[in-house]
A = this chain, B = another copy of it.
C-alpha cells in the first residue's frame, strides 16, 4: 500500500450508532422541552406538566425506538429480497446484466479492451458479479446482523435520556414558572453541548452546530408555547 494521509485525518463517516444517538437525542431534548414550556404557558400545575411530559417521553421512546427497529429490519429484508432478484437476473438476463456492469464502469471512463476485460473478470464469478450489482447499481450494502435491535435500544434510550433533562426541573421543583426557567437553562446547555458533539462527530464546524441545535430547540419551544397559550391560555 503506497503511503497516504494519516488515518485519523482521513474522512469522517458517522457510524450508524452515532446517527441513532443523534436521532433520539435531538427529538428527545426538543419535543418534551417544548411541550412542557407550552403547557407552562397554558395551564398551572407541575403534576399535569410532568404527567404530559412523561407520557410524551414514553410514547416518543416506543414510537421512535420501534420505528427504528422496523426500519432496520426492513432494510435487512429488502437487501435479501433484492439480492435474490439480482442473482436470478444474472441467470435469466445474462447479457443485460453484463451490459449493466459495463455501463457502470463506462461512466467512470473505462473503455474498449480495458472495459471488456474488466467486465469479463467481474462476471466470471457469480457471487462477485451480484456483489458488484448490489453495491454499484442498487447502492445497497449488506446490513449488520443484530442492527435492528441495537438501533431500537439506542434511539429509544437516547430519547428517554434527552427527554428527562428538560422535565427534571418540573419534577423536583414546585413553582411552575421557576421550573420553566431552570428547564430552559438546562435544556439550552444540553442542546448546545449536544449540537457541538454532533458537529464534531460529522466533521463540521462545532460552534455552528451548537448554535443551530440550540436555535431549533428554541424555535420549537416558542411555537409550542405560542400555540398552547392561544388555545388553552
User: A: which residues have CB within 8 A of B?
Assistant: 1-5, 11-13, 26-27, 30-31, 33-35, 38-39, 42-43, 47-48, 50-52, 54-56, 58-64, 66-67, 70, 74, 77-78, 81-82, 85-86, 89, 92-93, 95-99, 105, 107-111, 113-115, 117-118, 120-122, 124-125, 128-129, 131-132, 135-136, 138-139, 141, 202-204, 212-213, 216-217, 219-221, 223-228, 231-232
Contacts and interface: CB of A to CB of B under 8 A. Distances in A.
Given A11-B138, A115-B121, 14 more contacts: A1-B96, A2-B95, A4-B96, A5-B92, A31-B60, A34-B58, A35-B55, A55-B227, A59-B224, A62-B224, A66-B220, A74-B202, A107-B128, A110-B121
Q: For the complex formed by this chain, how many copies does it contain in all?
A: 2
B78 A12 contact: yes
Contact of A56 (B1, B113, B224): B224
Query: For chain A, what secondary structure do more than half of its interface residues adopt (helix, strand, loop), or is it mixed?
Result: helix
Contacts of A60: 27, 31
B31 A56 contact: yes
Contacts of A223: 58-59, 61-62
A228 B51 contact: yes
A113 B11 CA distance: 30
A141 B139 CA distance: 10
Chain B CB count within 10 A is highest, among A43, A61, A202, A220, for A220
A72 to B, nearest CB: 13
Contacts of A82: 11-12
A55 B77 contact: no
Contacts of A85: 11
Nearest to A32: B59
Contact of A3 (B38, B96, B220): B96
